[in-house]
Amino acid sequence: MTEVTTGAPTVAGRSAEFWGYLMWGLAGVVIAVPELAAVFDLADWPTISATIGHLENAHSWVRLVVVFVIVVLAYYSLPQLAMPPQRPAAVAGRQTTANGRLTPDPDAVRTEGMGGYLVSACAALAAAVAFAGGARAVDPGTFSGAYVLYGTIALMWVIVPSVLSMFFAREVPFPTLFRTIGYLEHRAGFVAALLLGLLAILLIHLALYPWPRMNS
């Protein structure tokens, strides 16, 4: 059962903070495992950096889009680290929900009935992983499965929740990535700082791929 609250949605008695750790933890595992496997040559699986690099090689303008997205992401997301716990606030002069997403009217945002979104997102991620694995088994050189996999994370973890809060006054149970790191900072500052450092390295890696492993 979903409880209706004005500030922080709860699902099955769990807080937004809990769902943030769970949902972003799942997405983080899906992204981090292939990256680490590639670093240590443990598996031949398309990483998110290799996938974006593949797009950048095919279309040079994609690199500009990546840099643009990173700058905008930092501008709107980093202030979320200082947001008050489980309360709406203003970020870069724009109102946000308690979970850190932009919305024109935080008081109008509704959270009831959104528990099913967690199931939908996880099911979509599982299907994307299965599709990516199948596509790679059929054609080891293909990136089609990687596009579906990482596209699913972008869609279900970022794009759809943002559209729901901005245009439909609906809030999914889990906060944004930086809002989640903000929660973690209150509990374990060192861990939050470590995650931010790793995230910064990943973003630079995406923008300057294949840095730091440059072509000869």
From first to last of the 216 residues of the chain, give the pLDDT tens digit: 334 344 455 665 578 899 999 999 999 999 988 888 877 777 778 888 889 888 888 888 888 888 888 888 777 777 777 776 666 666 666 788 889 898 999 889 998 888 899 999 999 999 999 999 899 889 988 899 999 999 999 999 999 999 999 999 999 999 999 889 888 888 887 887 888 788 888 778 777 777 766 554
Q: Are 49 and 206 in contact (CB under 8 A)?
A: yes
Contacts for 23 with CB less than 8 Å, ≥ 6 apart: 118, 121, 157, 174
User: Do 132 and 145 contact (CB within 8 A), yes or no?
Assistant: yes
N-to-C CA span, the chain: 57
What is the spatial distance between Cα 201 and Cα 70, in angstroms, rounded to a whole number?
12
Cβ pair 173, 11 in contact under 8 A: yes
